[in-house]
Chain A
Amino acid sequence: MTIPHNLRTLARGALRPPENDSAFLLDVHRRAVPQARMARYDDAYPVDLVIVGAGAGGGTLAQRLARRGWKVVVLDAGPFWDPDRDWVSDEAGAHKLYWTEERVTGGTDPVELGKNNSGRGVGGSMVHYAGYCPRFHPSDFEVGSRDGVGEDWPISYQDLKPHYERLELELPVAGEYWPWGDPHRYPHTPHPIAGGADAARGGARKLGIEMRVGPVGITNGAFGNRPHCIYRGFCLQGCKVNAKASPLVTHIPDAIEHGAEIRANCMATRVELDETSGAVTGVRYLCDGHERIQRADAVVVAGYSIETPRLLLNSTSARFPHGLANNNDQVGAAGGGTLPRGDAHVQGATPGDLLRAVLRNR
């Protein structure tokens, strides 16, 4: 379905994403994802696909393939969150949202991790990310040849563009018209900005620097049964409101509706293989202290940049003595399988209080 640009602007948040009813499947009065009708597959029954990780990658894929009739089981090491019951509106109280099992960072230039590096639980790390949803700039795909740093991507911006548009409708993304790279607009209007941002924008305008309110995956206005953001400021502690997008509310409900099973508190330990053919046969996992194997015709590992390499490297066999997908010793290696992302941001202090800074810039 293609909608003309001007109509899209007029309709804004009233547009329903095609082929994803998640926001409408949520309960109006409770934040938890309804699970009463969720399918349950037997371990011995070979499902079409096992996905390891119910986050941004795994949760979305489960929804897409369940819609197309695949029998999908998603394993996640953490709980199936109920925002009303499990999350508190408090930073220190949000400790259990994060993957806090011991990780060691080393090498010649070790990356300092944070306490909230990856998600553990249905929704993945999007449960506690800030919500920022920019598209890549078209040139970001060619940093190797353009800037001589990192690697070029094997795909281009044009390959991803239709997926950006579709996901921006599904999350949905709220933001100001974006004039750079491939200019585009967002389905929801931008959220109001706080005092600090207002002062920065006024200062930038005085200097002739264009600034835009960045895109965030947070509803601006009700969206299905998801309410408006209340500007509480605890995006990184799990959104108790259900306003911020994470697969828990954007894709898992629709996946369940179409026959996927989300199996929480199940830690995958090994991808099982048929030694003669080399084909996958399922995933070994730990659940309540018991080791089980879910049989499957295909396996997707979507466990983020630390747990994905860990699972692949742990899945050794006579046929793949160095782990899966690792014949070239690139899995988990910096610059190979893992690309740390640079993050540029600017900080400043205003002399005196903000109100005066804003008035000065008007």
Chain B
Amino acid sequence: MSARDFREAAHLPNLRPDHEPASPEELPRQRNGVTPQMHGRYPDYNVLDESGHWDELTRRVVLGRLERVPEIRFFTREEAATLGAFCDVLLAQDREPKIPVLNMVDAKLFAGELDGFHFADMPDDRETWRRVAAGLDAAAVQHGSIDFPGAGAEIQERVVDAFAKGELHGQVWDELPPSKAWKVVTRGALSAFYSHPWAWNEIGFGGPAYPRGYARLGVGQRENWEGAPAFERDPVRDTQQRGEQEPVRP
């Protein structure tokens, strides 16, 4: 797998023989602004450079997400540890900088900002999150760990994989349909993740774009402020630019 393969659809997990995502280590490193774990498909693009072009109301909302990371107020300390580890596995956030997804989810649940519906055989979304925390710990115990955060990466991934396939059983999961619970927590975690400007940098998203809008709509065109994708950077030069990983010369 070389960096240039990210240009082709073949790097997508379902098209790869092992069905695992390609290692983002092959991508260039982010040089302008921040992306989750500093993986950069658009290494010189920082959406926050454009915030001067947004309307005041939107700017306050978006920058507020960066400036004020909400404290955990809804979940207990144990639940937060379990769900934080779960979100890290789910979103492949294996090191800093990480988008504080659980804090954002916690703030929404604390404020009672729910999606407005739940299935008749499911509790309120807030209760679903709490039971998922208990259920993940129980599933980790079934694998011989003390709890989910205390389990190794391999067990954590196996539990999350079984959760995704609706294949968790026993205790909590006899009362809580895992596939419906999976939808609730992934919907919450993904909306939080992709509401953060660091995730926009990672996917090259233009952000609010009001009142400026877009004028260049055709394929292969982009606004002069939009980031250029860089899947094909010279890996040697790129490694040198990463600084701390500069190769040792004889």
- Interface of A toward B, CB cutoff 8 Å: 84-85, 87-93, 95, 98-107, 110, 112-115, 117, 192-195, 198-199, 230-234, 240-241, 349-355, 358
Contact = CB atoms under 8 A, between A and B. Distances in A.
B219 A199 contact: yes
A110 B180 CA distance: 12
Main secondary structure of the interface of B (DSSP, over half): loop
Contact of A232 (B121, B194, B214): B214
A318 B62 CA distance: 53
Given A195-B219, A231-B214, A88 B61 contact: yes
Contacts of A91: 191, 194-195
Given A88-B61, A102-B114, A352-B8, A231 B119 contact: no
A100 B115 contact: yes
Closest 7 CB pairs of A and B: A230-B213, A106-B120, A195-B219, A92-B195, A89-B208, A89-B210, A100-B116
Nearest to A239: B210
B83 to A, nearest CB: 19
B57 A234 contact: no
Given A105-B117, A234-B208, 10 more contacts: A88-B208, A100-B113, A107-B120, A110-B120, A115-B115, A199-B219, A232-B214, A233-B214, A241-B213, A352-B7
Contact of A105 (B58, B61, B120, B215): B120
A233 B209 contact: yes
Contacts of A106: 119-121
B55 interface: yes
B217 interface: yes
Contacts of B57: 84-85, 87-88
7 contacts: A90-B61, A92-B192, A93-B58, A100-B114, A195-B218, A240-B55, A241-B213
Interface in B24-83: 54-55, 57-58, 61-62
B9 interface: yes
A143 to B, nearest CB: 27
Interface of B: 7-10, 12, 54-55, 57-58, 61-62, 113-121, 124, 183, 191-192, 194-195, 208-215, 217-220
Contact of A350 (B9, B54, B113, B209): B9
Contacts of A192: 217-218
Contact of B124 (A85, A102, A198): A102
B217 A104 contact: no
Given A105-B119, A192-B218, A353 B114 contact: no
Contact of B116 (A110, A113, A195, A358): A113
A99 to B, nearest CB: 6
B116 A102 contact: yes
Nearest to B112: A100
Contacts of A351: 8-10
Contacts of A90: 58, 61-62, 195, 208
B119 A110 contact: yes
Given A90-B58, A91-B195, A351-B9, A101 B211 contact: no
B119 A89 contact: no
Contact of A104 (B118, B212, B213): B118
Given A85-B57, A90-B195, A195 B208 contact: no
A241 to B, nearest CB: 8
A211 to B, nearest CB: 16
